[in-house]
Amino acid sequence: MPRDRNKDENDRREKMRFPIRRELRYKLVEDSMVVATGVGFTVDIGSGGALFFAGGKLKPGAFVELSISWPALLDDGCAIRLIAFGRVLRSCDGDSACTIDKYEFRTARTFPANVTPVRNDSMLERWADACAKDSVKLHAAS
């Protein structure tokens, strides 16, 4: 059930958030370098952003990639993950909020319980670099 937006007049979100607790992995990028990785879980999520528990403080403004276990199976048998790209908005008491500016679904590989894989395909870095270049172009044009 989505949160009732009428209850909090200070809520500036334009899109609904849905409470859902799912396992996630995250990566943070600054200056084209992965500066942090970790695991946590979602608190709520919507098409415009997510609140998640990361256990520590994440730097606001940093580019973030979330890899979230999805509750539905593809073709009733293949696990999938939601891969979301955005920026950290705030971080306090272990909870972090981020935008979701781009997302895709990917099939999930299975790993032993004690192994947490980290992808090295640099999609987050390429996306962050493209956003930075667009920002420079906008400032140069004005």
Phi, psi of 72 (to 5 degrees): -100, 155
The Cα–Cα gap between 72 and 76 comes to 8
DSSP-derived letter for residue 31 is: T
The number of angstroms, rounded, from the C-alpha of 109 to the middle of its chain's C-alpha atoms is 19
Contacts for 60 with CB less than 8 Å, ≥ 6 apart: 88, 89, 90, 91
Check residue 1 and give its pLDDT: 41
Check residue 13 and give its pLDDT: 61
Q: Which residues constitute the domain of residue 75?
A: 5-141
Check residue 16 and give its pLDDT: 84
What's the number of domains the chain is made of? 1
Q: Beta strands of 3-137 (E only): which ranges?
A: 18-19, 23-30, 33-46, 49-53, 63-74, 78-92, 95-99, 102-107
Check residue 31 and give its pLDDT: 86
Q: What is the mean pLDDT of each run of 10 residues along the chain (142 residues)?
A: 47 77 94 91 94 94 95 87 96 95 86 56 76 74 69
The Cα–Cα gap between 20 and 50 comes to 10
pTM: 0.71
Residue 80: which CATH number?
2.40.10.220
Phi, psi of 29 (to 5 degrees): -125, 135
DSSP-derived letter for residue 14 is: S
